[in-house]
């Protein structure tokens, strides 16, 4: 069933003091692909700055720029509308890079034991589902217990984390179980913050599955980026001159049109 959604994504970085020479790379603009059609979209920056548009090696839209003048805040705001229709998805190659461990998804001995204790079915879709349910049951959603550099093994050992950690653990176990799987980030329907989930290559089609929520994804998430793990597709990354702390405020609103 086709659905139209409007989306608003606003991120404000506030610095404790002025910074300059601020180089940034953003993956905050959702791309169109079979199953997700972006009807209209705009990106605004504060301070205003020119930026180049390109695609990274995973096909994600990338916005790259630099702000030379001193500033104590950086804001990017994306708004637009999209049509989602999973019936329009098409078969695509499952690149072998998604079958092997990556920087965040190496499997620990503890995870190997956990996987060995699961009676996984042979059918890939059922195997993916059972793994997602196992991760969902093992982990507690607890913000503040992990960070952006936390690996799957570290999060699994602690038994708690956020959506990024759930996704990394699922990816590690799914690849070890013979599935091709990749990391996805984007905007979920409703109010809140950005989200991370996974996509599994099933019958030649990338199919979304969300271990944090314990469900398949549907026409209720707008995808921003994909990669082997978070390190391949952060929504924002930057470097600047200045010794200062920073705070981030995120606002997401995705509504049915």
Mean pLDDT of 226-238: 97
pLDDT of residue 244: 87
Domain boundaries of the chain, sorted by first residue: 3-86+235-256, 91-232
Q: How many CB atoms lie under 10 A from the CB of residue 181?
A: 28
pLDDT of residue 243: 87
pLDDT of residue 110: 98
Could you name the CATH architecture of 3-86+235-256? Answer: Sandwich (2.60)
Confidence of residue 251 (pLDDT cuts 50, 70, 90): very high
Q: Return the minimum-mean-pLDDT range out of 33-37, 90-94, 234-238.
A: 90-94
Find out whether 235 and 194 touch, Cβ atoms under 8 Å: yes
Mean pLDDT of 26-42: 98
Mean pLDDT of 85-109: 95
In this model, does residue 257 exceed pLDDT 90?
A: no
pLDDT of residue 94: 84
CA-wise closest residue to 208 among 250, 253, 163, 177: 163
pLDDT of residue 182: 98
Confidence of residue 131 (pLDDT cuts 50, 70, 90): very high
4 by Cβ neighbours in 10 Å (0-12 / 13-18 / 19+) ranks as: middle
CATH number (3.40.50.11540, 3.40.1180.10, 1.10.530.10, 3.10.620.30) of 91-232 reads: 3.10.620.30
Find out whether 85 and 30 touch, Cβ atoms under 8 Å: no
**Percent with pLDDT over 90 in the chain:** 96
Q: What is the pLDDT of residues 164-186, one digit of tens each?
A: 999 999 999 999 999 999 999 99
Confidence of residue 1 (pLDDT cuts 50, 70, 90): confident
């Amino acid at each position: 069933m086709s659905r139209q959604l409007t989306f608003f994504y606003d991120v404000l970085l506030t610095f404790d003091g002025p910074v300059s020479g601020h180089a940034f790379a953003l993956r905050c603009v959702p791309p169109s692909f079979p199953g997700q059609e972006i009807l209209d979209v705009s990106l605004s920056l504060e301070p205003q700055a020119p930026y180049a548009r390109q695609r990274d090696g995973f096909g994600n839209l990338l916005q790259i720029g630099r702000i030379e003048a001193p500033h104590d805040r950086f804001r990017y705001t994306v708004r637009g509308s999209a049509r989602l229709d999973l019936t329009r998805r098409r078969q695509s190659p499952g690149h072998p890079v998604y079958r092997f461990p990556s920087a965040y998804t190496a499997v620990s001995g503890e995870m190997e034991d956990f996987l060995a204790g699961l009676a996984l079915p042979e059918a890939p879709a059922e195997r993916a589902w059972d793994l997602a349910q196992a991760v969902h049951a093992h982990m507690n959603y607890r913000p503040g217990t992990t960070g952006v550099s936390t690996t799957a093994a570290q999060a699994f050992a602690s038994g708690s984390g956020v959506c990024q950690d759930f996704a990394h653990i699922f990816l590690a176990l799914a690849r070890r179980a013979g599935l091709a799987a990749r990391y996805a980030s984007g905007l979920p329907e409703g109010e809140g913050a950005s989200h991370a989930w996974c996509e599994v290559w099933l019958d030649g089609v990338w199919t979304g599955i969300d271990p944090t929520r314990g469900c398949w994804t549907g026409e209720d998430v707008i995808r921003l980026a994909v990669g082997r793990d978070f390190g391949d597709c952060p929504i924002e990354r930057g470097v600047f001159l200045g010794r200062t702390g920073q705070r981030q405020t995120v606002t997401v609103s995705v509504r049915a049109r």
